[in-house]
Amino acid sequence: MPVTPSATPGRKSAPGVRIGGLTVVYRTPAGELPAVSGVDLELPPGTITGVVGESGSGKSTLALSLLNAVQPPGRISAGSVEIDGLGDVVALRGEELRRARGRHVGYVFQAAQNSLNPLKTVGKQLLDLGRSHGVEDLRALVREARDLLGRMGLDGARVLDSYQHELSGGMRQRAGIMFALVLNAHLVVLDEPTTALDMITQATILRIIREVHEERGLTTLVITHDLGVVAEVADRLAVMYGGRLVEQGPTRQVLSDPRHPYTRGLIQAIPRLVGDIGEARALPGRPPTLATVPARGCVFRERCPLRMDVCESEHPPAVAHGTRLVSCHAVEAGAQEHGGEAVAAGAREEQA
């Protein structure tokens, strides 16, 4: 893939990100309740990390924390987000924070398809963005935007001349990605970048995300409820449930040999395209809400087939298993882990 000339000048290097003990709470009639609890996650420089989880598991809240952009009634109540070259963004305020957004951290919001200003053309919004960040060469900015749109398979000039309602969902999504990249940010956060797009458009967008990530030397975080999306783009995968990260590791390893009972259940529940449809099995119960997430013990225990007494009272700490981090009392016990592997291998043989 040829490197676009615009990507080389002023090339910053991909930053690493270290999230530590991050807790985000929302104020509700029932008091402040955590949507994200004690999350530890590292984004190694130059990697694509995928965060997957069901609706309400706290993915968007986690993503917003990377910009210290959680809005009231929410607030970051504990923890840090260290970004190379920026420091701890949880401590940033006002003007510093505003500059960091866009310049250092590019963000494509969930439902980016509806987040463009309906009253201004895309081009006008681009100029506004450039001015607000003190960009001197606005022509170069427009050229850069056109190039980016062009390499995403769009007619850049036409898109810049269009209003939101004149663009399809896939076109708007690509315009959102352009906005996240056009100020040359090297940490990019994409929240549900392909939700509501059809398969062909989704495949195109995922290919673009991968290519741009490599060409520009980015550190990328992709948030999604769709395991297929992370499987396509992410080097590393983190699984979220009830505001907690329950398992993380290299994507292929997690998918081929999931350790946490929730990860296993989630993978098992995916409708299968080939083979016996009975291989897919529903996960009993339903995901917790802010109000029903248990305050003590394991967040998954209501639905867990391996639940033990200790799961009621003790939160399972994240324990390293090779390149994997898993938070589960049952996996922690070495014998169980072995048993788990045997089960997984057995399941694979059955499929074969």
Ligand X SMILES: Nc1ncnc2c1ncn2[C@@H]1O[C@H](COP(=O)(O)OP(=O)(O)OP(=O)(O)O)[C@@H](O)[C@H]1O
Residues contributing to the site for other proteins (CB under 8 A): 54-55, 153, 161-163, 165-166, 168-170, 197-204, 206, 225-229, 231-232, 251-256, 265-267, 269-275, 277, 280-283, 286-287, 289, 348-349, 351-352
Please identify, using beta-carbon distances, which residue of 117 and 132 lies nearer to other proteins.
117
Asked whether the beta carbons of 299 and 288 are under 8 A apart, the reply is yes
Between 217 and 228, CB nearer to other proteins:
228
**Distance (Å, whole) CA 42 – CA 65:** 14
Nearest one of 18, 6, 63 to 212, comparing CA atoms = 6
Please tell me whether residue 301 binds ligand SF4 under the rule CB under 6 A: yes
CA 200/CA 213 separation, integer angstroms: 20
Is there binding between residue 316 and ligand SF4 (CB under 6 A)?
yes
Strands 87-88 and 244-250: unpaired
CB count in 10 Å sphere of residue 27: 12
Shortest Cβ 130–ligand X spacing (Å): 30
Within 10 angstroms of residue 226's Cβ, the number of other Cβ atoms is 15
Residue 206 beta carbon to other proteins: minimum distance, rounded to whole angstroms? 7
Query: How far is it, in rounded angstroms, from Cα 218 to Cα 47?
Result: 7
What is the Cα–Cα distance from 229 to 270, expressed in whole angstroms? 13
The H or E element containing residue 321 is strand 319-321
Per rule CB under 6 A, is residue 35 in the interface with ligand X?
yes
Task: Pick from 18, 124, 225, 307 the residue near ligand SF4 by CB under 6 A.
Answer: 307
Contact map string, positions 226 to 265, toward ligand SF4, x by CB under 6 A: -----------------------------------x----
List Cβ neighbours of 346 (8 Å cut-off, separation of 6 or more).
none
State the nearest-atom distance from the C-beta of 254 to other proteins, in Å: 7
Shortest Å distance, C-beta 288 to ligand SF4: 12
- Which CB sits closer to other proteins, 56 or 87? 56
Cβ neighbours of residue 15 under 8 Å, at least 6 residues apart?
Answer: 45, 83, 84, 85, 86, 104, 186, 187, 219
Q: Decide if residue 73 touches ligand X (CB under 6 A).
A: yes
Q: What's the min distance (Å) between Cβ of 321 and ligand X?
A: 25
Residue of this chain nearest to Mg ion (CB atom): 60
Stretch that binds ligand SF4, among 155-163, 186-194, 228-236, 295-303 (CB under 6 A): 295-303
Amino acid at 45: P
Site of interaction with Mg ion (CB under 5 A): 59-60, 110
Site of interaction with ligand X (CB under 6 A): 26, 28, 35, 53, 55-61, 73-74, 110, 198, 225, 289-290
